[in-house]
């Protein structure tokens, strides 16, 4: 069974990679771009949808300002990208926003940023995969109604790919990411050419009318209109998610790490901004209508839409219009867009485990998240992210419109605190820097981060104001719970460290005055003899065998056989009038400790090693109960003495790799 499991693991994940080969997993810029920037690049597949969907509440006239809303988002995007280029140069260790906030604003700010990022990474996977599932359902009708199941399956596949290692998964994901960029670029160029040639067809939804919701009959007027405009802008700011992943992933870049990360950020900003504006301009030119509920908000000639009408995402509508008459191009755009949405989750699969490892190293998360797996990936972090994302996908039934309301709150919390931290960083550095040229460079960097702070803080306020009642409160609650949890984990590790720290008293008691060894005996057989042999080999000060007297006839037979073997170990029988096993042993061990507090008591427990799970149910139950109770007894050491039954043969996976040890 063990061999089969190991073979299956190797088939899925590949052979283990030696630690000294870690340098071979580092990424060149051409691979780092799709690995770390696929989230932000893919945002153009749903951020324009969310802008149009939100503005559609106020009717058709309101959707005409979508390019201006998109321009506002692009301005914020470019400022944030410029700001993070300063971050990766100043803090190239991979801590990203967490390191910046912790170093400059204190541990609590760092934990706040970390909790925001961890929640946002989980949402990135859930939103991206769910959006990709919707694109897949629009292209493959048999998936309709099963989007959540399809999304879960995709998360599992992505998990396996990332468990194989960053470089290998990055190489696989690079091709569809570059294809997406090329096809969206082609869509923009062909659309522009056909527009200026007065040959651009209208979208499938161009002839529909949008019914404004109550209170928006006059469009975007008054306070309600301003609030809706702000909400559309906040939804469009989903395009900024993923920017911070590069600052967290600097260690994965090839040298010079900071320069390569900064260059990748610049490429990300330029490509994302161009793609988003192009899609919004084309949407206006082709008359795309996109709403939350097509059958309630859209009409055709004053009549409701047919029941079988399915609203397609914005890019699908654009591709169908721009490439009208050339179906292969439309199909290619739809497929690659769905793929990039799925692969966008890969940004989180690279950012979450690295951040989790840093937090675990600092004692804020379980230490299991700090270690790399046998493929040099942070396996435990990858699995944790996948499980959390699957829970969200199932809970929200893979509906992007519901999930998007939880989105971007966390990332703008981290943006804002990070930029504030960088302001403090440059201010402190300027106090110590005498070189005029270097001071000038620092002042420019501080100005960039200052503008970034003002802008991201403003967007954060808008996001909280417009999205709080639509689901953002769930994200804030999750961040608060995670913040408290990390504080609690750190406090626990601190208590354990203080308790285990050597002092004069502990040093004096490092060696016990005597060792009292107790071998537990149920019957006389090979496991018992091995336990006695092990105990004798340790040369304790006192050695005795102990059994519990449950049945008088069995105890008499046990005594007789013990004496017949002439073993040089006395046998003590503990009375048990109520036929208990655990309580008499515990009572006796504690009495030994009470009589000789400076003695160490070592309890040897013979155990069977079995090869099948169902055999475990038939053996070792008394031993497990005893161990569980004895482990909480101060001054007592529990030693399990294994006896391998024949069914356990070949279960280690190491047979033939080392000589056998001595047999007892």
Predicted local distance difference test score (pLDDT) of residue 282: 92
Residues 307 and 363 in one domain: yes
Q: Is residue 658 part of a domain?
A: no
Residues 329 and 449 in one domain: yes
- Over residues 44-76, the pLDDT tens digits come to 777 888 888 888 887 776 678 888 888 988 888
Q: Which of 493, 522, 538 is the last residue of a domain?
A: 493
Q: Looking at residues 274-280, what average pLDDT do you find?
A: 90
Q: Looking at residues 16-23, what average pLDDT do you find?
A: 46
Q: Is residue 526 part of a domain?
A: yes
Residues 412 and 549 in one domain: no
- Asked if residue 100 lies in contact with residue 449, where contact means CB atoms within 8 angstroms, the answer is no
- Over residues 147-191, the pLDDT tens digits come to 889 889 989 988 887 777 644 455 666 788 888 889 999 999 999
Predicted local distance difference test score (pLDDT) of residue 20: 45
- Averaged pLDDT of the chain: 80
H-run or E-run covering 614: helix 613-618
Residues 183 and 312 in one domain: yes
Residue 139: partners with Cβ closer than 8 Å, 6 or more residues away: 331, 334, 335, 338
Predicted local distance difference test score (pLDDT) of residue 172: 66
Residues 266 and 338 in one domain: yes
Predicted local distance difference test score (pLDDT) of residue 483: 94
Residues 309 and 258 in one domain: yes
Angle of the 327-343 helix axis to the 107-139 helix axis, nearest 10: 150
Q: Is residue 656 part of a domain?
A: no
Predicted local distance difference test score (pLDDT) of residue 174: 77
The runs of H, that is alpha helices, within 468-540 are 472-500, 504-508, 526-537
Residues 541 and 421 in one domain: no
CATH code for the domain of 52: 1.20.1740.10
Tokens at 503, concatenated: 């002092």
DSSP string, 550-570: S-HHHHHHHHHHHHHHT-SS-
- Over residues 314-363, the pLDDT tens digits come to 888 899 899 987 888 888 887 888 778 777 777 788 778 888 888 888 88
Q: Is residue 181 part of a domain?
A: yes
Q: Is residue 662 part of a domain?
A: no
Q: Looking at residues 433-450, what average pLDDT do you find?
A: 87
Residues 469 and 520 in one domain: no
CATH code for the domain of 625: 3.40.50.620
Predicted local distance difference test score (pLDDT) of residue 133: 82
389: exposed, middle or buried (Cβ count in 10 Å: 0-12, 13-18, 19+): buried
Share of the chain above pLDDT 90, in %: 12
CA separation for the pair 280, 68 (Å, rounded): 9
Residues 517 and 488 in one domain: no
Predicted local distance difference test score (pLDDT) of residue 194: 92
Tokens at 432, concatenated: 């110590």
- Asked if residue 243 lies in contact with residue 76, where contact means CB atoms within 8 angstroms, the answer is no
Q: Is residue 499 part of a domain?
A: no
Angle made by CA atoms 210, 215, 221, in degrees to the nearest 5: 90
* pLDDT tops 70 at residue 620: no
* pLDDT tops 90 at residue 390: yes
Structural domain span for residue 203: 2-493
What values do phi and psi take at 535, rounded to 5?
-65, -40
Residues 219 and 301 in one domain: yes
- Asked if residue 374 lies in contact with residue 164, where contact means CB atoms within 8 angstroms, the answer is no
- Asked if residue 586 lies in contact with residue 603, where contact means CB atoms within 8 angstroms, the answer is no
Q: Which of 451, 466, 493 is the last residue of a domain?
A: 493
Predicted local distance difference test score (pLDDT) of residue 519: 92
Residue in 590, 584, 564 with CA at minimum distance from that of residue 572: 584
Residues 526 and 478 in one domain: no
Q: Is residue 664 part of a domain?
A: no
* pLDDT tops 50 at residue 657: no
Residues 549 and 424 in one domain: no
Q: Give how many domains the chain has, as a whole number.
A: 2
């Amino acid at each position: 069974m063990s061999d089969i499991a190991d073979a299956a693991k190797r088939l899925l994940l590949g052979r283990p990679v030696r630690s000294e080969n870690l340098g071979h997993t580092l990424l060149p810029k051409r691979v780092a771009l799709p690995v770390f920037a696929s989230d932000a690049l893919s945002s153009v597949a749903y951020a324009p949808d969310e802008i149009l969907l939100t503005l559609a509440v106020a009717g058709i006239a309101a959707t005409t300002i979508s390019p201006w809303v998109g321009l506002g988002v692009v301005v914020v995007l470019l400022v944030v990208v410029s700001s993070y280029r300063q971050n990766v140069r100043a803090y190239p260790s991979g801590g990203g926003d967490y390191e910046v906030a912790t170093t400059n604003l204190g541990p609590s700010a760092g934990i706040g940023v970390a909790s925001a990022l961890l929640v946002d990474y989980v949402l990135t996977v859930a939103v991206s995969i769910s959006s990709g599932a919707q694109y897949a359902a629009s292209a493959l009708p048999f998936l309709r109604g099963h989007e959540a199941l399809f999304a879960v399956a995709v998360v599992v596949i992505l998990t396996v790919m990332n468990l194989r290692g960053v470089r290998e998964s990055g190489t696989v994901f690079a091709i569809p990411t570059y294809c997406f960029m090329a096809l969206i670029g082609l869509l923009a160029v062909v659309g522009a050419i056909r527009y200026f040639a007065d040959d651009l067809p209208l979208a499938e939804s161009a002839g529909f009318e949008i019914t404004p919701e109550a209170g928006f009959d006059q469009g975007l007027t008054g306070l309600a209109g301003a609030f809706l405009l702000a909400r559309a802008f906040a939804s469009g700011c989903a395009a900024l998610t993923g920017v911070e992943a590069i600052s967290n992933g600097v260690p994965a870049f090839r040298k010079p790490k900071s320069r390569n990360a900064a260059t990748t950020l610049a490429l990300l900003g330029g490509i994302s901004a161009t793609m988003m504006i192009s899609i919004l301009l084309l949407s206006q030119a082709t008359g795309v209508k996109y709403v939350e509920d097509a059958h309630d908000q859209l009409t055709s000639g004053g009549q409701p839409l047919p029941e079988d009408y399915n609203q397609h995402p914005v890019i699908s509508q654009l591709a169908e219009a721009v490439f009208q008459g050339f179906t292969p191009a439309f199909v290619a755009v739809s497929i690659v867009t769905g793929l990039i949405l799925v692969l966008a989750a890969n940004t989180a699969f690279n950012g979450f485990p690295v951040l989790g490892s840093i937090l675990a190293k600092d004692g804020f998360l379980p230490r299991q998240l700090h270690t790399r797996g046998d493929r040099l990936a942070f396996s435990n972090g990858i699995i944790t992210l996948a499980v959390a994302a699957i829970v969200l996908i199932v809970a929200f039934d893979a509906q992007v419109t519901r999930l998007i309301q939880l989105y971007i709150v966390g990332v703008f919390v981290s943006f804002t605190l990070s930029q504030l931290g960088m302001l403090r960083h440059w201010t402190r550095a300027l106090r110590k820097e005498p070189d005029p040229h270097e001071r000038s460079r620092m002042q420019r960097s501080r100005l960039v981060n200052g503008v970034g702070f003002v802008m991201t803080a403003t967007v954060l306020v808008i996001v909280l104001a417009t999205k709080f009642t639509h689901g953002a409160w769930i994200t804030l609650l999750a961040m608060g719970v995670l913040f408290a949890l990390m504080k609690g984990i750190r406090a626990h590790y601190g208590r354990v460290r203080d308790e285990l720290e050597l002092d004069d008293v502990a040093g004096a008691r490092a060696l016990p005055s005597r060792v009292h060894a107790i071998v537990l005996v149920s019957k006389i057989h090979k496991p018992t003899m091995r336990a006695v042999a092990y105990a004798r080999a340790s040369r304790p000060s006192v050695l005795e065998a102990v059994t519990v007297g449950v049945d008088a006839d069995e105890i008499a037979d046990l005594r007789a056989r013990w004496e017949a073997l002439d073993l040089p170990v006395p046998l003590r029988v503990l009375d048990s009038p109520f036929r208990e096993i655990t309580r008499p042993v515990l009572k006796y061990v504690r009495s030994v400790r009470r009589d000789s507090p400076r003695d160490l008591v070592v309890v040897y427990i013979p155990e069977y090693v079995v090869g099948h799970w169902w055999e475990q149910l038939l053996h070792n139950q008394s031993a497990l109960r005893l161990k569980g109770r004895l482990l909480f007894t101060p001054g007592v050491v529990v030693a399990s003495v294994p006896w391998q039954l024949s069914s356990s043969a070949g279960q280690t996976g190491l047979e033939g790799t080392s000589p056998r040890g001595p047999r007892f």
